[in-house]
Structure formats: C-alpha cells, structure tokens
Structure 1
Amino acid sequence: MCGIVGFISKQKDTQTIKEMLKIQSYRGPDDSGLFFDESGVHLGHNRLSIQDLSPLGHQPFVSDCGEYIISFNGEVYNFKPLREELKALGYNFISQSDTEVILYSYKEWGIRCIEKFIGMFAFAIFDKKKEKLTLVRDRAGVKPLYYYHKENNFIFSSEIKSFHQHPHFQKEMNYEIIPYYFQFGYIPTPHSIFKNCFKLEAGTYLEYDLKNSDYQITKYWDVNDFYKKEKLDLSESEIITSLENILEDAISIRMISDVKVGLFLSGGYDSSLVASLLTKKHSKKIDTFTIGFEDKKFNEAQHASSIANYLETNHHEYYVKDSDIFELIEQTSFYWDEPFGDSSSLPTMIVSKMAKEKVGVVLSADGGDEAFFGYSKYIFLNKFSNIFSSSFKLSLLKFSINLIDDKLIENINNYIPKKFRQTNIKDKFSKLKRAINSNNLYNMFMNASSYTDNKIVTKMLNLEINNTIFNNFKNQNIPSFMSHMMAVDYKTFMNDDVLTKVDRATMSVSLEGREPLIDHRIIEFMAQVPDSIKYKNNQAKYLAREILYKYIPKEIIDKPKAGFQIPLNQFLRGELRHIVDKYIHKDRLDSKIFNIEEILKIKNDFLNGADNATQIWFIISFQMWKERWFD
C-alpha cells in the first residue's frame, strides 16, 4: 500500500507536491518520489515496501522508453504470470515489483489491461504520446482515489487532506451532502464533503486530456452486470466446490508478499472461513489478531480465541481499555478527513496497531455479508418483501407497528436483565418501523440501511434535504429483490463505510490491509448463484457455512455474533463524557448547519439515559472533522 498525489500545472511546483506527500506520509513511510513533465503533469508517491523491497521499486516509475510514467497504490496479485506473458512479447524488467508489470501492461494492451488485473489498486499513468493522464480505481474500491476539478485546476490524491496543501484548492463546504452523512454515517460516492471534489467510483477510470484540459470517466466493471446474468445451472455441491476453489485461490494469492502476513480474526463466519482455508494451504502458522472488551455484549475475543486454538494459529489478543479510546478519539478526524460516523473505526485502529507490531500485511475478511447474503436486514426484508403484494397485510402491519412507541421499547429493554439487554434497541426498532412504513421495496431497504430517520435529520439540520442522490440505484433492472439489496450495499455501504474504515485504520499505522473476500471472481460467481442456494434453511451465508463446517465443527463456530462494535453508550457517558460536552456545545455548533436547540435536546436526552449514542457520535465526529479541516 502506498499514497499517490498529482496535479496539472505548467509551472513546475515541487514544493507543493512534497507538502501533499508529507501530510499523508504514513501511507508510505519507506520512500517518496516526484515526477514533473513540461506538459504540466506532476506526480508524487509515498512508498510502503511490500513487493520488491529494493530501490528498484521506487516510484513514480518511468518506462524504459520514457513515454509512460506511473504512480501506483495497491497490489496486483497476479503480476507474476502477467510478467511472464509480457516477457514472451519482448519486454524486459529491471525490478520484481508489480508496478513495472502494470506499466508495461498498459503499454502493450492500453487501458483494457485493467481487465487482466486481480487485485486492489488506485493508480495514475501519464501517457506522453497521447498527452493523457489516466486515473484508475479497482473494481470494489478497496483503494481510495479523490480528484478535484475547478476551472483549469485538476488535482488528485489518495486522501483529501493532501488537497489542503495545494494553493488552488478551495475548501467550499458541500452543504447538500451533509444530511446524507447524518442518515448513513458516511459521504456517499462520488460526492465528497467539499464542492468540486469527488471520489473516483470503484470500477472506473478517468482520462484527463492535456490538450483540452477536460476529462471523461468510463466504467469498466459493474457488479450489476453479473446479477443480471443467467443463474448458474449447477447443483448445490458443484456450486460449493467451485466457490471453495475460488476462495482458496483468492486467499492464497493475497499471501504473496516480501513481508510477513497476518489475519484479523473476529470469530465470525467470514474471518474464520479465511483462517480455515489459510491453515489448509499453508503449513506455517499464521498470526491472527483480535481485540476484546470487558463488556460481554461486545466481547468476541473468547470466541475468536477458541477458533484460533482449534486451527492452531499464532494468536494475539488485546482487551481495549477506556484510555485506549480516549487516546485515539480525536485522531480519527485526521485519518478520516471527511465526516465518518462508524464508531468501529476505533477498535479497527487498535487491532491494526497491535498487528503492525508483528506483521507488515494483514488480511481482513470484509465483504462476506455483501457476497454471501449475510446481513440480518437482508433476511428480514426478504421475508417481508412479499407483504408488499398484499395491501391488506401491509396496512395491518403498518397499523400494528405504529401503535408501539419507540420510547416504550427502550423502557421495556431497560427492565430486562443486563446480560440479555439489547444494545441500540431504540435505533433498531426505529429502523424496523421506518422500513415497514415505506411505500416500496427499494425505500424499505434504504430506510433499513440508514441510521437516522429522515424526519429526525430534518429537525436536526438547518439545511435543505435533497433525497435524490441514491435514486440512481432504484431502477437497476436486477431480477430479484435479494440481489438488488446486495448490489446496492456493494456500491454504497461496503465501499464508503467498510472499506474506507479498514483503509484508513490500517494505513494510520503503515500496515497493508488486503481483502480476499472482495476478489472480483468471488463477487462475480456469487452474483450468479441462485437466490434459493444463497439463502437456504433460513440460514444467512449458507454457502460460506457449508464450506466452513468442513474445517470447524458447528458447535465451535455457530455462536451469536455481536459485530465489530464498541460499547459506545458506556464510553460516551463515562471516560469520554468530556468529549460530548466539548463538541456538542452551543458555542461550537454552527447555526448555518445545525438547529442548535434540537442538537442540545438530543445531547440532554442522551445524558438522561436515552439510547441514542449513534446520533451523538455522528455529531461529535462531524464537529471534530469540521474544526480540524474547515474552520
């Protein structure tokens, strides 16, 4: 993993590109490099050495003919067979890096070369002959890439924070997008928190034409295309065998590294599946890492430990203290340089720090829910989807659930013994009510996916709310509602929340994170598996479980999973209470954005016992970001 930056300016400006690199140097502390061409192209690179640790892997990398230059972040795991293919065509290589393979692949096959790559990547290639600068992002969006375009200014970077170092970057708040953050906890692609600043969408490339100072974006891969294909005409056993073979290869090629590789192990099905297939293929013990909490409702360390013991991994665990969260909390706004509301970013930073002490690369089993039909909301919504065909049943259900007050649910929960008490019960019930009150299946799904009711967001903010940004996902012509949900989450929540979280957390300690379950071959295959096999016998992740049960007994693996959460209520009312008071204060709240009276009411409700810690955290995260990067 690395960091890349660049811009177009006829005037050579090495100082600016150095400053852009410096502020994200943690992405690649091993080396840095600059490139300038008289056409105005500036490229910069921070290197985290993973493949070919020698100076020959230095970037930006220039082709032997001098016509092609690349600045690359990520990994192309199948670079060795591609290099052999290129050697047979007459190419000579001076390094053992995948960077050189990418560049000569582009020279030989043009932009279509990206269709050959298996990996995670964000890169810029300057083609002197064509006078074009091309930016490319991988199919899932594992690696980040932002660009800024206003008038004749074009800037790009792995992270937005580098833009602040450029004299022509104007930090104008994108007020229209703020309500989406408070609903979903992230800024949705392709938008950013700043005007004229965008995320390059996953599976696309951008070609900037130096002759006319303009660009166009092309989509080269779309998960929807595979959901629309004919379903596989295979038996269940054939599907399981094929999937296991793809999984084995996806995991094995991500072990290719010149530094030590480990695995985040939560004890859930996804990370246990990766651990099982790793131990099957590799005789050497794998290092596994997990964290725990003293609060048993949030603690999965014991379960992860039992999986590790069964698989005989070299296991490391750490129990998080309040002081750990206290030390990290105000750092999050530096590494997540847009508002980011997922509080599991904090434990992800902690487990990344622990892993970095032992390994240089870590596998993370994200994407299993989107690939294997894993989220509980999928199961609930799939069961309720047939109610929409019966107006009587739907009306009866809406009438019944609207009789129940959110506060009543919260009060009942408070009388339940602590060990059985549900966390965030009010939020969960509110989501359920919003989903059932939806007027169509798509809105039901989006309401179940949001953290905060649109009506509450409207009361919180002094901003006009535009609910059209996700409309392009509504009519995707995907045959089933099950598939539609998975495809939308792949493009939204997985990309903008899950992968952003893991990238920033691992990069904060210069650790490379790899995502075997998001290998595009797995996603393409699973998209073509019939729904009846994806979800069978009322079991989420049916196929993943069937493979996993070959390696770990059911009685060990089948445990309730809490998810990678933190006891947010406990922290914000305890050790971090001062953070609540510091950032949610009438003198610090911007009345252009917030309805201050309503925000203070939300805070007071929380301090008086309301189960609305997620809302509180979203507000605090926004405030920390704004004070660091905008004010």
Structure 2
Amino acid sequence: MCGVIGWIGQPGSSPNEALIERAMTRLHHRGPDGRGYSERDHVGLGHTRLAIIDLAGAKQPMAHDSGLRISFNGEIYNFRALRNRLEGLGHRFVLNSDTEVLAAACAQWGPEAVDHLEGMYAFVVDDPERDLVWAARDPLGQKPLYACDARFQPQAAWLFVSELKAVLPEAERRVDREAALRFLTYDFVPDEEGIFQGVQKLRPGEVWCLQRSQPGEPHRRRFFPLHPGAKIESTADYLEGLETRLDDAVQRRLVSDVPLGVFLSGGIDSSLITAFAVRHRKAGGLKTFAIGFEEKIFDERHHAQAVADHLGTDHHCRVVTAQHLLDVVPTILSHQDEPFGDPSLIPTYLLSQFAREQVTVALGGDGGDELFLGYPTFVAESLRKPFRWFPRLGWKASAAAAQLLPGGQGHCPLDYKVKRFLAGSSRPLPDRHQVWIGGATPEVLRRLAPGLNEEELFAPSRRSWAASRGDDFERLTQLYAEHYLAAGVLQKADRASMMVSLELRAPFLDRGVVRHALQAPHALRISGRQTKIALRRLAQRMLPTSITERPKKGFGIPLSDWLRGPLRSWLEEQLDADRIKQQDLFAPSEVRDLLAEHLRGQCDHGKLLWNLACLSAFLSRSHSP
C-alpha cells in the first residue's frame, strides 16, 4: 500500500511543497520504499510507496504521455487483462506495473476508468487535457481518502490525503460537534463527514471531479451501487457460482512480488479464504497467521490449527497476554486519523505486527459477515420479526424494565444483550440496528447532549437505507456494507495493517463476489439463529465439520472489565473533568456520573466510556502543537 496526497490550489497559486513534503514524512509507514513529488501549475501530487508489484519500477507520482499524472494507493487485480485491452487501443507499456496500466486507463476513459477496475484503491488524477482533477475510491471502501476544503486548509481549494494526521499540524482544527456525537453512536465517524469542519471522506465507490481551471464544488458520482440483482433460485447453481467467484477472487489476490500469507482465525470466513488459497500454492507453501489468548473465552487458536492441519499450511501462532494488549493501547490510539471506537483494532494490530515479521502481503476474511449476514444483529432481526405486531410503547416499557436487571461481568454479558435488544426493538429500521451494534443508545447520549435530535443522529444510515433496494435483509446487507464495513471494519484493517507496512487484501470484496452475494436466495442467507448459510454450505465441501458448524466469535476483548481494572487509571486520565471542560463538548458532571455508574457495576457503559476516552485522547493529541 501507499500514501497519497493531492493539492489543488486556486489558479495562479503554487502548491505548498514544504507542507506536502512534511505530510509525506508522516505517511512513511504507508510507503517506506520510496517517495515522490510532482507539481504543475496549481496542482501538486505527493506519494509514498510500499513496493508490491514491479519492485524496481513504477515510481510515483506517475506521468502519462497525454500529460496526465496520477498518485495511486492500492492494487488493480485485473491490470493484465486491462493492459491487453489498452494495447489494442494503441497504448504502449514499458513496465510490469498496475500503476502504469491505471494511468493509461485514466487517459483513455477519464473518470469512467473506474468502471473497468477490479481492485482496492484510492487515487488522485491531474488531467489538464480534460481540465479535470479527479479522485476515486474503490467500490467497498478498502482504501481511505480524505477530502479537505479551505475551512480545514485555507491555502488550498481542495486537499486529498490518505491519512488525515499527515496534514493535521498545519490545519485549522475546529471540531464538528455533530460528528463527535455520531462517533459515540456509530463507533466511527461516518464516511460522508469528518471530525473536523471542512473534512469528509470519499464514500465507497465514489468519484469526485473538480474543474481544474476553476476548482469549486466537486461533481460526485457513485459508480458501484449495492443493489441486489435477479435472484438465483437454484441452490446448486448459486453455490457453484459462489465457489467459482471466490476461487477467482483469491487467485487474483495471490499475485505479489513479495512474500504473502493469510490471516487464519479458524472462523468460517478466513478458513474459506485459506482453503481457496491452498489450491493455487504448493503443499506447505502457504503461510497462515493467528494469535491466541490466555483467556479461553477469546482464544480460537485450536480452531485455526485444525484448519491449518486439514489444509496443510505453514501455520504460525503467537499467544498474547492481556498485558500485551494493554501495552499497545496508547500507540494505537495515537495513530488514528479520527476517533475510532472498535477495540478489536488492538488484536488486529498485534496480528498484523506478527505477520509482518515474515510477509508483506496478507489475505483476510473481511466482508463475509456483512455480505452473507453473519452478525448477531441479523439474528436479533430474525428473532424480532414474529413480534412486529408488538406496539412500540410495549417495547419501550420492556426496555425500561430491563434496566432493573443487575449488571453482568465479562464480554457482552446476557443482561447487556437483553437491554440492547429491547432498546433497539422500539425503533424502526434501520435505527434499531445502530442501537444494537453501536457505542451508545440515544437515551444515554441525551445525558451528554440534552438537545439531541435522533433524526440528525441517525441521518447517515437513514440516507443509505432510503437508497437501498430489496427486502429487509437485502437492504440490511447494503446498509452494513456501506457503513459498518467501509467506515468501521475496513478502516480498522487499513490502519492496523499500515501501521506496520503490511498490505491486507479482502477476496470477499471482489466485485463479482459482491454482486453474487446480492443475488442469494433467502434460503441461503439466514434462518432463525443460523447465519451465513451459503458460506457454511460451501465450507462443508472444504473444511472440517468443527469449523463449518461454529457460531461467530469475533475478535473481542473484555473491554468493560478492563475499564474497571487495568485500564481504569488511563480511563480516568482521559475523562478528567478539566480535560473534558477544556474540550467543551460535553458536561464534565455527566461524564463523571457515567464513569461512576460503570465503576460501581451499576450499569455497563463500557462501550460509551471507551469511545469518550478515545475521543478525548484524539482531541488532546490533535490539538497539541
């Protein structure tokens, strides 16, 4: 992977080369193998490179004979087929590089080039011939791209960058309070906005086009809508098609000029990716990586080892202690571009660090849960469905009564699940899913923000829901893919892996696999408490029964207990009354009361307090000189 910077000034101005050079230094972890800068007129492009394909060539920013220049982060998996097609259209190539092919595609088709790409990417193109500067992000949002206007960086009309922290020191940093509240709800800042005024992200599958000679508001286009196609009603035909598409997706992602391996947790998703990968590697020639935990409730290493033994991989496992996880919290939080609340970022980082000791590229199972309905919230929706007749007031009364249940201990105790299920069930789709999966309920958030407007709070997910198509579960697939996957799971994967300069690839996010997932017959999606039926049926052909019948476990940590124990002093430091008062977002007295209730075991505010602490740590760091 790489780091991308695109500076678009007003005509007649010059890019701030010194600022861009400093930003590239801060992006060194994304591209430790080289860096480059190029400017023409009022447009400057910067790039830091992690070399994966054509190690000696393919320097960036790269120029095309047409005068077009590009700064590109990612991989184009179909670049060889595209190269053949472009050669037929008169283009000539001198490198074995997907960047060179991408530059030619952009010269040939302009912004419509994205319609021809299979890959994960974020890039900025300066195209004087078309009087355009344009930027694009891959269909599912695997690679990040921030877009900043003059409110954030007054010297530029627009500034594109892979990681916001690369340009924070020189920016105007005014916190968007609405975005901060949404972070507490979603566990991340949704893609169409940013934690600071004047900052947003390109949405998954979006192209922005700016007029080069007069860079005002961008023209935006979504080029990969996640709408379901015609159902494939035959189970046999569907599973055969799924197997073919997944096999192709994995094979494409095994292309690398540097060492490559697979993350193997022992769950359905990563085990299937591994099973397909061994088809295309010599026996014992595929490295797989896992981490184990001393706490049995979180430890999956025996499942990962069972899959590795069954498939004959060269398996590597490292056991981490609670102290290992706790020790890296400050490092991980200091590396975030915006506040991020998913604590599974911690073990993901440790796994990436472990794998990076031997490989530069790894395949993972991200996307399987969103596309094939793997989360417990989908089970909750299935269980609630027979009770659609139950009045909203009844759900609200049940939720209020459930607050009398004593607080449990451990990871997601039963009382926590019951309280969240009832709190969410009083709300319509899609709001209840955000209550079920997010950091805080609106009822608790109103203690921090008395004037809270639920319509505004849930606006990003409601917009996605309104644009979705199909039955409820098809629409939920689209919602989770656009929000929880793109802004949550994939942001976590990108940040954790790029901290150690590891490229992480996700075969489930291949365009062909995604389209096929959206064509699944209902019988292969969810039934009662059984999730991911299609993947389980496919896995039965390739994996041990102990794996195919496993319930979803997830990459969890005992967050609530840690905040009462080994992380308590850190938590109290982040939520110190003077610090909260200085940040001027929430009343210190309400934060103090939430903390006290949690420490007494009266309520489980673990996710909310973690989010508040992550937000406080982020603001303290981002506002320091």
TM-score by length of 2: 0.93
1:578 match: 569
User: Is contact 1:135–1:205 with CA below 8 Å preserved after alignment?
Assistant: yes
Q: Which runs of 5+ in 2 are unaligned?
A: none
1:351–1:311 CA distance, 2 compared to 1 (3 A): same
CA RMSD of aligned residues (A): 2.1
Equivalent positions of 1:213-612 (< 5 A) are 213-224=215-226, 226-227=227-228, 229-232=229-232, 234-284=233-283, 285-388=285-388, 390=389, 393-394=390-391, 398=395, 401-402=398-399, 404-410=401-407, 413=408, 423-438=412-427, 440-461=428-449, 464-465=452-453, 466-467=456-457, 468-476=459-467, 478-536=469-527, 539-590=530-581, 592-609=584-601, 610-612=603-605
1:156 match: 160
2:54 match: 52
User: Is contact 1:223–1:524 with CA below 8 Å preserved after alignment?
Assistant: no
Q: Which moved more, 1:466-475 or 1:304-313?
A: 466-475
Q: Which moved more, 1:146-155 or 1:344-353?
A: 146-155
User: Is contact 1:341–1:621 with CA below 8 Å preserved after alignment?
Assistant: yes
1:495–1:100 CA distance, 2 compared to 1 (3 A): same
User: Is contact 2:187–2:341 with CA below 8 Å preserved after alignment?
Assistant: yes
SS across alignment from 2:412: coil
Q: CA deviation at 1:586?
A: 1.3
Q: CA deviation at 1:210?
A: 2.0
Matches of 1:463 and 1:263, distance apart in 2: 47
1:628 aligns with 2:617: no
Q: CA deviation at 1:596?
A: 1.2
SS across alignment from 2:577: coil
User: Is contact 2:8–2:15 with CA below 8 Å preserved after alignment?
Assistant: no
1:28 aligns with 2:31: yes
User: Is contact 1:122–1:136 with CA below 8 Å preserved after alignment?
Assistant: yes
1:177 to 176, 179, 194: 179
The runs of at least 4 consecutive aligned structure 1 residues that moved more than 6 Å come to: none
1:192 match: 194
Q: CA deviation at 1:318?
A: 1.5
Q: CA deviation at 1:404?
A: 3.5
Matches of 1:579 and 1:407, distance apart in 2: 29
Q: CA deviation at 1:283?
A: 2.0
Matches of 1:120 and 1:542, distance apart in 2: 27
1:34–1:463 CA distance, 2 compared to 1 (3 A): farther
The one-letter code sitting in structure 2 at the alignment partner of 1:29 is: P
1:417 match: none
Q: CA deviation at 1:426?
A: 4.2
Q: Which moved more, 1:171-180 or 1:464-473?
A: 464-473
The one-letter code sitting in structure 2 at the alignment partner of 1:187 is: V
User: Is contact 2:157–2:216 with CA below 8 Å preserved after alignment?
Assistant: no
Percentage of identical aligned residues? 29
User: Is contact 2:402–2:418 with CA below 8 Å preserved after alignment?
Assistant: no
Matches of 2:132 and 2:416, distance apart in 1: 49
Matches of 1:301 and 1:569, distance apart in 2: 23
- Deviation track 1:473-510 (CA, whole Å, cap 9, x = no partner) reads 34235220111111111110111110000000000000
Q: Which runs of 5+ in 1 are unaligned?
A: 415-420
Matches of 1:355 and 1:553, distance apart in 2: 25
The one-letter code sitting in structure 2 at the alignment partner of 1:456 is: V
1:16 to 3, 19, 22: 19
Matches of 1:71 and 1:104, distance apart in 2: 13
Q: Which moved more, 1:589-598 or 1:68-77?
A: 589-598
TM-score by length of 1: 0.92
1:122–1:296 CA distance, 2 compared to 1 (3 A): same
- Deviation track 1:280-326 (CA, whole Å, cap 9, x = no partner) reads 33224211111122111111122212222222211111122233223
Q: CA deviation at 1:424?
A: 4.2
Matches of 1:161 and 1:395, distance apart in 2: 44
1:385–1:219 CA distance, 2 compared to 1 (3 A): farther
